[in-house]
Structure 1
């Protein structure tokens, strides 16, 4: 059967304002059509009326006593006279003799009546004079209703403003404030995201694909006695694709999909959160099988009974209690699956995390190099590139980037290319985008004195030299002394992606970080405030070695780290004052040892350090190739072949032997 053509215009929705407009039109029409102006009635004056009376043109005068108005009716002979031509023309309204030809407003009734009576008597006229009152009952009734209409209108307006929206939909009126604000996903009208749009995340994607399959074909799993899981919790750092996975589920699932945020349950009124939870699950059960997605569930799912110093009833706890009951309580429906996302799983309530509520916890981690390549493939689809990009190279240049960061890199590269008036995006635009995101915007107009510039150059050259000489330090990509963001200079490294880190690797990284301050000490015999970020970094690393990872011999195999986050608001340290003193001493000892080690490395290579700094002052930006010309290739570089590595080691050992011979001869 052919589908009907849906191009016909939609019917307008009914609005209460239509009724208000109709009433206003009726009132205006009543006033207009009851007005004498629509007939041939004309205003006149007392003197003209007296003249008409003397000429015998007036048949009847109707005096309205309650409005101080008189209505004048002419005779048939008078209607043919030229002086009454304006009122003698036929009106479009039927008069039937009841519509006057003239009206006038008189002052004092007694004086007006005496003047007419005197003229009538002097001219022996048979003009009829009548008295009457004009009925204004409808107008008086409407005027009496006006205050009530205004009060009711203002009340309706205020109630709608308090409930936060228009009259249609849940939550639009004060009586619907306890209704759920969840959006029901419609695959026909909403933008559809499929699992093809989710790159990487194979494990997490497989889990959520299985959840969709549960609802599509439940008999496949329940026939063996299994039960459909009630909930899945997506956990991971920001930007890793938790909400994107939920969008893919909404696009792929052929069942109703309710989406909302954890903060949508929170309201200024007591009991609204629990009411919205009940209404949400009621809607989902009515449309079951269905999926509910709650983004940022930590807004309502935090552990109960913590830091409630006021002792008052917590609305958030009531909402959480209702959510726990709906997910696993009497009368729950197993055909409703709850998906939730958070990057703060450590603060969630234990009752929410147990099996039977969130049966599955899916960890969405930062992508590795292979997954980053797949993410680049997805985000490069709409971008017009000038060449075939090496996606492996781009994936290597973005270690530690999340999916959102990679999307930002692609977008920033397109903006940079457009800013340069280019027709397509090139590889250099992507490298500039990475630099822009990591280091910040270049500030070439920043005023720096020659002395400061020289200090910055030696500082950055110190980082580059020490990292080049140490085995486990991250290999250098480029060094610049052009200010970026809040930094006066920067060095880009390409760190090795490790799952575990050993003490010698951490110490080499700390030594390379202290190379900047060490270079200032070796060259100028002075130090500056430019090493603030370096000191902050090495202090955190040393503290982690001592207090978290148990890598210090003096403190021993102890950790004071709580992964559950239960002591994040504690007021006491989990160790004594004596242990605290030892921790401080060991942290300072580790940092000072690496600082002295960096000074020794730079002292032994002072001439190469100076050459590198002078080249940096000349070019402002130098790359890995420039360091290879000065220092030679690294013997422990993974990209080197075994034969080249042996040649380098042999040549270096010969150089060391020759230097030892020269020292012996001189001595």
Structure 2
């Protein structure tokens, strides 16, 4: 006898089968209930019945009063007549009881009864006339229960809809709302991210490598009496790869990875957040060794007691309290490590940051020149690029870009190349992508009058001229008077990547920023609203010099910067009114001094400024080469800047 194949799929049990069987039984019982429900009778009419009575064929008439029906029983000898041939009642269920042969419907009961009795009396018949009533118990019961059945059915339907159709898992169902919404990435099922997929971040990868080693071989550390950190906090600007680094840790360690956002704990129901925290840690302990990753932890980890003017019990604080308890409660031998990411570490609660909870902070900074090159290599793998593409050049063209920004540049460059019908993505596509991301989309069809266009050209030429003449100003890359985004013109610079900034460097940058308005003053002896963004930038720089970095002689070595970020919530300034007057005066003095300096530089080079503006009006876009033809080589240009000349 052949064995059944183990791969043969047996039909899965479905609860709807039970509902179908019950429905069929109810229909059958309803159909067969009552007298004659299983019989098929020949129909007749009242006039035919009168004729049958007069012929003496009827033995009994059964009148059903509540349904206005009558059932006719014939005499045995009458069945042999030709008129009644084939009227034997056909029953679906065999029975020994005498069954009727005809059925008919009548109108008024009293009239029908009188007519029958009169016929029987006139013809001296022995026909019996009986009265009865039929009841359908099941039908009556269903009519009584139908409203309740409808209410219960609607309630079940709503509950299933609220639970995501019954497939949302424990966290989605209304009765399991306190369950964790964490998504589990199992090492046996999900594709893993490893450190090879994370370009740059060398320092951060070294920090988390110890966590990976512990999860792989915890005995190596615990055998010496050491305790493994319970948690690590990844801090850094948006788009620097904090979430990717956490996934890489789980991928390298090959352990279950519970991932969720801080906002997943927040719910409109009281106590849900704390319940989800408890359930999350319970699941992690059951699957230990494991990693819990909470992205954007500032959603629940904000410092407690701030701005709680209502005095109410804050649900977010209850969630944070439960998180603090869980991180203190589970032992170090449970092999559960908590990773969290935020770009607002300054507002986190101090209790969350103390040793024993998040033992270490790992700062994930913006990538430097070498790391940007590595990130480009990762994101350019799936893109068909030109063989002459220089990654060093691309890395130098994207200072201050995060990993997410670089990924966006690569994707935008591929789209631009495809739009232009190219077979490969080349250098110009990447430059256009950087311009598109930094400056916005070109608006060549924007209506600009010739006078406005001339003003914009001199404004941008003023920026270019002043920056070219100052040593510490950022070197120019490109100037355009084609509108982009919200700006009518733009100048691209390549800022030096500095770790510390000196006062003379900040002053040169401010002077170059004010070069646009200064050029309008020198050429037209008028100023316009086009310098709004420039004024905003220099005002912030001057304010930072005076109030934050202590670079002003009048204020001295003081700073009013609050690194905790709590000063932003106060209603009072951290200095007196007299000091505020001094600060305002010093900010104004710094800006006006650099403005006059820019005017002086442009007046000394007015002919070159005019020549540059005319070339800009002619070409609309000029590069570093055009400035060199007018001004000559920049005397304090560095070697690496010379490599960035655009062709």
> Does structure 1 conserve the Cα–Cα contact (< 8 Å) formed by 2:522 and 2:602?
yes
1:257 aligns with 2:257: yes
* Cα distance in 1, alignment partners of residues 412 and 640 from structure 2: 34
* Cα distance in 1, alignment partners of residues 492 and 252 from structure 2: 41
> Does structure 1 conserve the Cα–Cα contact (< 8 Å) formed by 2:416 and 2:433?
yes
* Cα distance in 2, alignment partners of residues 7 and 441 from structure 1: 58
Length-normalised TM-score, structure 2: 0.90
Match of 1:658 in 2: none
- Greater displacement, 64-73 / 457-466: 64-73
Match of 1:314 in 2: 314
SS of 2:406's partner is helix
Alignment deviations for residues 383-404 of structure 1 (CA, whole Å, 9 cap, x no partner): 2234442111111111111111
Match of 1:606 in 2: 606
Matches within 5 A, 1:624-663: 624-639=624-639
Query: How far off is 1:546 after superposition?
Result: 0.9
Query: How far off is 1:462 after superposition?
Result: 0.6
Change (3 A) 1:172 1:122: farther
* Cα distance in 2, alignment partners of residues 443 and 117 from structure 1: 102
1:407 aligns with 2:407: yes
SS of 1:321's partner is helix
1:587 aligns with 2:587: yes
Match of 2:558 in 1: 558
- Greater displacement, 74-83 / 335-344: 74-83
- Greater displacement, 387-396 / 185-194: 185-194
Change (3 A) 1:507 1:96: farther
Match of 2:26 in 1: 27
* Cα distance in 2, alignment partners of residues 445 and 6 from structure 1: 70
Change (3 A) 1:289 1:380: same
> Does structure 2 conserve the Cα–Cα contact (< 8 Å) formed by 1:69 and 1:105?
yes
SS of 1:131's partner is strand
Query: How far off is 1:169 after superposition?
Result: 2.1
> Does structure 1 conserve the Cα–Cα contact (< 8 Å) formed by 2:285 and 2:334?
no
1:448 aligns with 2:448: yes
1:216 aligns with 2:216: yes
* Cα distance in 1, alignment partners of residues 527 and 620 from structure 2: 22
Query: How far off is 1:144 after superposition?
Result: 2.0
Alignment deviations for residues 400-425 of structure 1 (CA, whole Å, 9 cap, x no partner): 11111111112222222233333433
Matches within 5 A, 1:378-417: 378-417=378-417
Match of 1:277 in 2: 277
Match of 2:355 in 1: 355
Match of 2:645 in 1: none
SS of 1:259's partner is strand
Change (3 A) 1:147 1:90: closer
> Does structure 2 conserve the Cα–Cα contact (< 8 Å) formed by 1:285 and 1:333?
no
Match of 2:181 in 1: 181
1:501 aligns with 2:507: no
Alignment deviations for residues 505-547 of structure 1 (CA, whole Å, 9 cap, x no partner): 1111111101100110111111100000000001111111111
Match of 1:302 in 2: 302
Q: Which consecutive unaligned segments of at least 5 residues does structure 1 have?
A: 643-667
Query: How far off is 1:299 after superposition?
Result: 0.9
Matches within 5 A, 1:74-473: 102-120=102-120, 129-158=129-158, 166=166, 169-329=169-329, 334-473=334-473
> Does structure 1 conserve the Cα–Cα contact (< 8 Å) formed by 2:42 and 2:102?
yes
* Cα distance in 2, alignment partners of residues 81 and 613 from structure 1: 123
Change (3 A) 1:54 1:181: farther
> Does structure 1 conserve the Cα–Cα contact (< 8 Å) formed by 2:39 and 2:89?
no
- Greater displacement, 202-211 / 239-248: 202-211
* Cα distance in 2, alignment partners of residues 205 and 389 from structure 1: 29
> Does structure 2 conserve the Cα–Cα contact (< 8 Å) formed by 1:199 and 1:375?
yes
Aligned residue pairs, count: 637
* Cα distance in 2, alignment partners of residues 463 and 540 from structure 1: 18
SS of 2:477's partner is strand
Query: How far off is 1:80 after superposition?
Result: 8.6
* Cα distance in 1, alignment partners of residues 28 and 56 from structure 2: 36
> Does structure 2 conserve the Cα–Cα contact (< 8 Å) formed by 1:164 and 1:171?
no
* Cα distance in 2, alignment partners of residues 24 and 545 from structure 1: 82
* Cα distance in 1, alignment partners of residues 265 and 522 from structure 2: 61
- Greater displacement, 126-135 / 63-72: 126-135
SS of 1:328's partner is helix
> Does structure 1 conserve the Cα–Cα contact (< 8 Å) formed by 2:386 and 2:425?
yes
Change (3 A) 1:132 1:346: same
Query: How far off is 1:329 after superposition?
Result: 3.0
Change (3 A) 1:630 1:69: same
Q: Which consecutive unaligned segments of at least 5 residues does structure 2 have?
A: 643-647
Length-normalised TM-score, structure 1: 0.88
* Cα distance in 2, alignment partners of residues 43 and 247 from structure 1: 80
Q: CA RMSD in A?
A: 3.1
Match of 1:645 in 2: none
Change (3 A) 1:56 1:370: farther
> Does structure 1 conserve the Cα–Cα contact (< 8 Å) formed by 2:30 and 2:136?
no
Query: How far off is 1:253 after superposition?
Result: 3.5
* Cα distance in 2, alignment partners of residues 42 and 414 from structure 1: 83
SS of 1:63's partner is strand
Query: How far off is 1:569 after superposition?
Result: 0.3
* Cα distance in 2, alignment partners of residues 536 and 33 from structure 1: 89
Match of 1:486 in 2: 486
Change (3 A) 1:500 1:25: farther
Change (3 A) 1:10 1:620: farther
